[in-house]
Amino acid sequence: MSKLKGKVAVVTGGSRDIGRAISIKLAKEGAKVVVNYHNSESGAKETVDEIKSFGGEAIAVKADVSKLNDIKNLKAKAVEAFGDKIDILVNNAGGLFARKTLQELDESFYNLVMDVNFKSTVFVMQAFEPLMGKGSSIINLSSQAARDGGGGGSSLYGSSKGAVSTFTKAMAKELGPKGIRVNALCPGLIGTKFHDDFTTDEVRTKVAAGTPLRREGQAKEVADLVAYLASDEASFLTGNNVDINGGLAFS
């Protein structure tokens, strides 16, 4: 039985990698999905087409979720397509953009990283929370970098994800009385384009070898955990930052 049947989900950064896997998994569990994207229109279309191929319902909506006007448009499109009740919100949009040392940082890069990773989470939640009621679920994508500071040159990324983790706990307290659960995931090394772009093969091999399970994770495994947290099966879980890293690091 589909555990999310009849629910409506919004997934930011839903066009590729972990976001795409999440969008497809939620749809397979019965949810109607709003697939947000910024630059990857073709990826968003592929995601929506795949969902429709197995009888699911989905739309793609372009929005830069670091900008409040775009968030407003995303909300309007979601309501227009699926009504004014949102059951699941997944804040997945984010990025590292470049590895920079302290002396290489500048204000524009600081704003880019913090806006895409943290500001987006704050204001997407602010926009959609009024449409969410008892039994609904918010899942934020943090990172193992929030736990350990991240790899070389990722200080701002790790710090922005640390802010996401802390904000998740704060919102669990604030929204809990309304019956809204708020959790975050802290993925470790997951085999995605993110690491294709920013992590060398040598480092990936070394990290995977040092993981108790001796491998990288898969986007599907993150998506499976998101679907669980979105469902009534996780009805007493809130305020958690859940590690999914093959045992590489513990809370």
Catalytic positions, written as ranges: 157
Cα distances from 197 to residues 74, 81, 111, 132, in angstroms, run 28, 34, 21, 36
Reduced 3-state DSSP string for the chain: CCCCCCCEEEECCCCCHHHHHHHHHHHHCCCEEEEEECCCHHHHHHHHHHHHHCCCCEEEEECCCCCHHHHHHHHHHHHHHHCCCCCEEEECCCCCCCCCCHHHCCHHHHHHHHHHHHHHHHHHHHHHHHHCCCCCEEEEECCCHHHHCCCCCCHHHHHHHHHHHHHHHHHHHHHHHHCCEEEEEEECCECCHHHHHHCCHHHHHHHHHCCCCCCCECHHHHHHHHHHHHCHHHCCCCCCEEEECCCCCCC
Instruction: Give the residues across from 114 on adjacent strands.
Output: none
